[in-house]
């Protein structure tokens, strides 16, 4: 039954969704059969289990009873967590107007992560960008955006960075392609300040930064970027620009050979 509540409502919804899925499967019920118990569609049930929608308490209670959960204390505990996951909103929700749909779940996962691993072939990871670098990237990526929209996107990125300096920060392990260091963004002054920021970041005990040189040639993640926030124990999730089948299988150990590291993992 429910585990202690994580710090992020996003992660809590994922945990509860997975537990609902496990209970349904244990009860031997299909999506359609379970959906009938709450007078909803199978599509709605799938979205609940995948944490794509909030958890309606009357739906959750009916599902628990349909799955054979009859202990009042267990039901009340589950409903309490479902209520928290639904009512508690993270700070990033105030930026939903500038959050792309594919990215909306990510700040919550990032906030609750103990380890964040990622690879960036084109630009500095968002958690390590300076404000001017982020503004230059945002302006290039959204050329038709208003000044206010650009400022809000930059503010969101800067706000995400607070996790690296909080009292109990996650460990960040980032690999960037050599092209990231060679691609001019925003002009020489912006790049100089960004290099200084990367050097400063490698001085933090929870940050590992590695560079994949051109001489490495072809490699398994040439399809694009990935970011993998994880807790111990999971859940974890991958956010990728292209999301190929292999996107959910990043390296599980420190890369060897051509990977140049500024700090040992």
For residue 173, what are the β-bridge partners? 117, 208
Q: Which fold does the domain 9-88 belong to in CATH?
A: 434 Repressor (Amino-terminal Domain) (1.10.260)
Higher pLDDT: 130 or 220? It is 130
- Confidence band for 55, pLDDT divided at 50, 70 and 90: confident
Report helix angle 131-141 to 188-201, nearest 10.
Answer: 120
pLDDT score at 9: 67
Which part of the chain is CATH 1.10.260.40? 9-88
Q: Is the peptide bond before 13 cis (omega within 30 degrees of 0)?
A: no
- Confidence band for 258, pLDDT divided at 50, 70 and 90: very low
Alpha carbon separation from 175 to 13, 123, 127, 251 (Å, rounded): 29, 11, 13, 11
- Confidence band for 225, pLDDT divided at 50, 70 and 90: confident
Query: At residue 220, does pLDDT exceed 70?
Result: yes
Report helix angle 9-26 to 42-49, nearest 10.
Answer: 120
pLDDT score at 246: 31
Buried b (16+ CB within 10 A) or exposed e, 242-258: eeeeebeebeeeebeee
Q: In this structure, what is the dihedral angle of CA atoms 132, 133, 135, 137, given to the nearest 10 degrees?
A: 160
Question: At 175, is the secondary structure helix, strand, or coil?
Answer: strand
- Confidence band for 232, pLDDT divided at 50, 70 and 90: low
Contact 122, 177 (CB under 8 A): yes
pLDDT score at 247: 30
HSE, CB side, 13 Å, CA atoms: give it for residue 33. 9
Contact 261, 213 (CB under 8 A): no
Query: At residue 241, does pLDDT exceed 60?
Result: no
Mean per-residue pLDDT for 65-77? Answer: 92
Q: CA–CA separation, 205 vs 167, rounded Å?
A: 13
Higher pLDDT: 169 or 223? It is 169
């Amino acid at each position: 039954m429910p585990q202690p509540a994580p710090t992020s409502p996003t992660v809590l919804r994922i945990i509860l969704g997975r537990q609902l899925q496990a209970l349904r499967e244990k009860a031997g019920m299909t999506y359609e059969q379970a959906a009938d118990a709450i007078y909803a569609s199978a599509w709605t049930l799938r979205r609940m289990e995948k944490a794509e929608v909030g958890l309606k308490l009357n739906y959750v209670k009916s599902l628990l009873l349909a799955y054979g959960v009859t202990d009042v204390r267990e039901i009340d505990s589950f409903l309490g967590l479902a209520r928290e996951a639904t009512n508690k909103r993270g700070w990033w929700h105030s930026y939903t107007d500038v959050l792309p749909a594919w990215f909306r779940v990510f700040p919550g996962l990032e906030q609750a992560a103990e380890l964040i691993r990622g690879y960036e072939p084109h630009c500095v990871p968002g958690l390590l960008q300076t404000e001017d670098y982020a503004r230059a990237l945002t302006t290039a990526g959204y050329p038709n955006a208003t000044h206010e929209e650009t400022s809000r996107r930059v503010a969101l990125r800067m706000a995400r960075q607070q996790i690296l300096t909080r009292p109990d920060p996650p460990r960040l392990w980032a690999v960037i392609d050599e092209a990231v260091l060679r691609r001019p963004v925003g002009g020489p002054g912006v790049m100089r300040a960004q290099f200084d920021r990367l050097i400063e970041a490698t001085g933090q005990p929870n940050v590992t930064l590695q560079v994949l040189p051109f001489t490495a040639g072809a490699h398994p993640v040439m399809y694009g970027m990935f970011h993998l926030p994880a807790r111990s124990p999971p859940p974890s999730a991958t956010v990728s620009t292209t999301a190929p089948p292999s996107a959910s299988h990043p390296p599980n150990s420190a890369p060897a050979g051509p990977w140049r590291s500024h700090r040992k993992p």
